[in-house]
Each structure stands twice: as C-alpha cells, then as structure tokens.
Amino acid sequence: MFKLIISVFAFLLLSACSAQYPNQQVKGEQFPSISGESLEKQNVSIPNDFKSAKTLLLLGYKQDSQFDIDRWLIGLDMAGVSIPTYELPIIAGMAPRMFSTFIDNGMRKGIPKELWGGVITIYKDGDAVQKFTGNESPNNSRVVLINSSGEILYFYDRGFSVDALNKLKENIK
C-alpha cells in the first residue's frame, strides 16, 4: 500500500510540472505580482514587500536547480555582493499545493533555520512565473535583479558563470 501511495504522489508531482514555456528575455519588464510564504511561515508579496533599491531573486523550478542557486550564492559571497537576496522555489501545479506542508518541511530540514526568511516558496502563482520567464532548461536558476518598483534590471537563465556574475555586479552598482 505504501508503494502505491508513493507512486501516486510521484505521478502527481511529475504531471504537475508538464507545462513547457519557451524562455523569455524579461529585462526591462515589470516582475509579476505574486505571493508566497517564507520557510519562517511569513506571507510575502513580491515585489511589493521589497523596498530596497535593488533586490536579487534566485528562482528555481526543480529541486535540481538548487545546485545552480548554490553556485550563485557562493559566487555572490566570494564577490562581496551584499544586497537583499531571496531564493524562490517556484512550484507549479495543483498536486504540489496539496503537499505544500510536506514539501516545505522537507526544505526546512535541509536549510539552516537562520536562512529560512530568505527562502520564499511560490505555489499558487508558480505557473504564472514559469510562463513569464520560460522554463526550458529547468535545472538552471533564473537570476532576477529588481528595483524597488519591481522593474527587472537584470535577468539571466543559462546557469552560473563568472561572466554572468560580473555582469550582474555591474547592474548592481
């Protein structure tokens, strides 16, 4: 019985991620108004709740995109970049929403508690965000630099590179 439940759960998760959207170039556009919940269980409205001159969003569409996000975080730290930065797991589909507590608790187990405020999970608006940026090559994170009004100042979706980090740094200045 347990194997059947796991199989159904896996099928639902896989089928929920089946919508494919071509990658978009969204620099200069307004980041969509979305909402999510931090791992600290705080509701967050994006971009409305971000009042800093510049905020960096690292969007991940699959669990495997965490590797790319980690490379970006290490690169940002090594380069001395210190602006508000948030990881946004973007999880589209109805099935994942039904298991959001299970998914979020799993993330809490793997992320130090002091970092929970910087991880905002997006369920309800997940499909809209993926459609906005595109979700081809879903293992690559989407690196989005926004200003205080939500305008996208920098966008990159091809996986971490030093050149991309340097271009991001130029846009942060």
DSSP code at position 160: -
Q: Which SS3 state, helix, strand or coil, does residue 66 take? A: helix
Q: What is the percentage of the chain residues whose pLDDT exceeds 70?
A: 88
Q: Scanning the structure block, which residue is given the tokens 């494919």?
A: 20
Note the pLDDT of residue 32. 98
Note the pLDDT of residue 99. 79
Task: Please answer whether residues 68 and 142 qualify as being in contact, where contact means their C-beta atoms are separated by less than 8 angstroms.
Answer: no
pLDDT digits (tens, 9 = 90+) for 7-36: 444 444 444 456 999 999 999 999 999 999
Task: Say how far apart CA 26 and CA 154 lie, in whole Å.
Answer: 8
Task: Please answer whether residues 14 and 93 qualify as being in contact, where contact means their C-beta atoms are separated by less than 8 angstroms.
Answer: no
